[in-house]
A and B are shown apart, each in its own frame.
Chain A
Amino acid sequence: MSNVIRNIRIGGITNIAEVSVPLEALTALVAPNNYGKSNVLQGVEFAVRFLTATPQERRGMMAQRKLIPINQSMDNRPFEFEISGTAAGYDYEYGYRFEWATTKEGLTGQRITGEWLRAKGTDEPTLERMQSQAGLSFAERGGGRRSQPKYRSLLKREGETEALMAPTPTSRCSKPLAVDGVTLALDRLGALDKLFFAALVRELQGLSVQRVNTLDNPDGIFSTPYPQGGTELYSTAMPRSGETGYFINSLRRLAPERYELLRSTLLQLIPDIEDFEPVQVDLSERADVPFQMPNTYYDIRVKERHNNQYTSINSVSTGCKKILWVLTMAMAASMNGVALLMFEELENSVHPRLLQSLLQVVDVLAGDTKVMTTSHSPFLVKYLRPERIYLGLPSPEGVADFRTIRPSKVKKVLQLASGEDTSVGEYLFEMMLDAEADQEMLDEYFVR
């Protein structure tokens, strides 16, 4: 994976004032219904799409009615997005800010007003190492104090048209860069020759996140007459809706080892399925024409333990279909360098006892791709480390307030949970539901 993200911060969208989520292999956003879990996923997807949108598209995006915050405590709050991670040999923090469209007279809106990129080389020599190389003793180097390379600004923008960049590795961030209200400075940097951090800019422009809605009806997930776009017979590109069967067919042909891994994993997870294999039927007649219309029907056939024949995967249970879909998407995300894979309610249609195994498997198949899931299931959260759970806590303003447990409180919560013979995840879940605006307790136990 060329771009490994560590943290996402998003705010000023729908009912999200500000949410900052450090990403581990698998992180969960847990909250009651209608709280704003999906808004976070939608917001992240929106923010990443904004990076590569055309100026025209951006103008439209900055006026998307269903995303503009209408909570009264968020009036005029700009949209803000920041991502941090490691890419192209840098630890980086990149973000931007824009004002939403407004209908109020005298106010301007629909314009990008801030942008920043700070970075430090991952193999940059630390002060300590340089001093050591210079022959300074441990004491002369300041004893036990450790120094870390500092982040430096490579790009700064405050306002619609004022952007500054660092032209060389040693110079200050002071060279003006022409931008406007619908242009990101990142667009301009991407077009420059000989930019010393061009590789980092390319990684940011190529940032990819994927949202999987496991609440969708699974009937249309696998079978499709032919994939959208492209003329290639097979492709392991990230499958779109309805292309899962096509993807698995392609996997078998183009990446047989991965296919075997997917297959053996599914058979382990669902012992009732004895075998499965992708199939395809070409419905078209071969003709000597300039363009042969692809008309191949892709499906998966499955042998269930107690059945006397194979059937289409559409005949198996909703849960089985969803599990295969989730596994396929995790593998596809890993193969396609997707930085973040987001599931809506991963637990949907999955037997509680299978959840622990599903979490393990998704973690492994997703590889370096970070996974974030929404959930309101105590069955799922009980299998997660408390630090990986972000709880939607009650807030007086009605905005989403996702927080995690304070590191200093983990031990105490573990003791309290044990006293009640319950798991930490379940205990936290109960705390979330019982919190009822007890702000003191929330502040004592949880941190944003």
Chain B
Amino acid sequence: MRQKRHVVIFVEGDTDKVFFDRLVQYYRQNSETPVASCEVRNLHGVSRYNGKLSGKLKGQIIPAAARKGMEVQAVCCSYDTDVFEYAERPVVDWKRVAAEVKRLGIKEFCEVKVEQMMEDWLLDDIKGVCSYLKLKKKPGSVQGQNGYERLQHLYKAANNVYVKGLGASALIGALDMGVIRDKRKETLKELEAVLGVKIEGSPGR
């Protein structure tokens, strides 16, 4: 019997976990075609990335999927292309990760390179961010050298502190994922393909 397709998205932190959970939810609500079974796994940083990913696939995810009659057929790794001030700083060898995934018998592997960091994507819906922060109007210029600093600048204007990861859940819940997805659809193309997503002219599977 042919097993049901299961996709795993690995992310490197709490913010990304919340974001991709919401994105998958958005896909399910808006895709014209059925979206594959999918789970988002948080590796909590990029230290020992390959080992953690391999261990979780072998020890937990693949057996659990098999128990439900599913097969892990695709793995997607999402990561920020830049690091914020207080991030861990190893460089992950993505070719090595891809080889490890293949070694585990998983046919498909793709990457989602978040330019420059997840906060830049959240700011794609700046109207939603300002509305969440109850800022009466969007500041003329949002200062900061990267998405984290720019988001922190907006939080400051709202007398608040943005805490990466911890503070992202409520914020992301208030954002319009359609706006962000539209702006980042090129980057998300491969992920949408492995998930079988088809939204208004997106390539789908």
Contacts and interface: CB of A to CB of B under 8 A. Distances in A.
Contact of A423 (B51, B88, B167): B88
Contacts of B161: 261, 264-265, 268, 360-361, 364-365
Interface of B: 44-51, 85-93, 152, 156, 159-161, 163-167
A25 B88 CA distance: 17
Given A414-B89, A417-B90, A360 B164 contact: yes
Interface of A: 25, 257, 260-261, 264-265, 268-269, 271, 353, 356-357, 359-361, 363-365, 382-386, 414-415, 417-418, 421-426
Contacts of A268: 161, 163, 166-167
A422 B50 CA distance: 11
Contacts of A353: 44
If over half of B's interface residues share one DSSP class (helix, strand or loop), that class is named, otherwise mixed; here it is loop
A415 B91 contact: yes
B51 A421 contact: yes
A418 B91 contact: yes
B159 A260 contact: yes
Contacts of A357: 163-166
Contact of A422 (B90, B152, B167): B90
B118 to A, nearest CB: 14
Contacts, number: 82
A421 B48 contact: yes
B166 A421 contact: no
Nearest to A256: B159
A25 B84 CA distance: 14
User: Across chains A and B, which 4 residue pairs bring their CB atoms closest together, nearest first?
Assistant: A418-B91, A423-B88, A424-B89, A421-B48
Contacts of B160: 261, 264-265
Contacts of B167: 268
A422 B51 CA distance: 11
A269 B166 contact: yes
B44 A269 contact: no
B86 A423 contact: no
B47 A383 contact: no
A383 B88 contact: yes
Contacts of A383: 86-88
Q: Which of B49, B50, B91, B156 has the most CB of A within 10 A?
A: B91
Given A423-B45, A424-B88, 8 more contacts: A260-B159, A356-B87, A360-B163, A361-B161, A417-B90, A418-B91, A423-B89, A425-B88
B144 to A, nearest CB: 12
Contacts of A361: 161, 163
A60 to B, nearest CB: 42
15 contacts: A261-B161, A353-B44, A357-B164, A357-B165, A360-B85, A360-B161, A360-B164, A382-B47, A382-B88, A383-B87, A383-B88, A385-B89, A414-B90, A423-B88, A425-B89
A386 B89 contact: yes
Given A360-B163, A364-B161, A385-B85, A424 B90 contact: yes
B86 A421 contact: no
A357 B161 CA distance: 11
A229 B51 CA distance: 58
Contacts of B90: 414, 417-418, 421-424
Contacts of A364: 152, 156, 161
B197 to A, nearest CB: 32
Contacts of B47: 382, 421-423, 426
A140 to B, nearest CB: 36
Contacts of B48: 421-422
A414 B156 CA distance: 33
A418 B86 contact: no
A244 B203 CA distance: 59
A322 B65 CA distance: 42
Contact of B89 (A261, A264, A359, A417): A417
A202 B37 CA distance: 67
A384 B86 CA distance: 5
Contacts of B87: 356, 383
A421 B55 CA distance: 14
A365 B159 CA distance: 11
Nearest to A367: B156
Contacts of A359: 86
Nearest to A355: B86
A208 to B, nearest CB: 24
A426 B160 CA distance: 31
A257 B166 contact: no
A370 to B, nearest CB: 14
A421 B163 CA distance: 26
Q: Which of B86, B88, B160 has the most CB of A within 10 A?
A: B86
Given A268-B166, A360-B86, A414-B91, A261 B159 contact: yes
Nearest to B48: A421
A421 B91 CA distance: 8
Contacts of A422: 47-48, 90
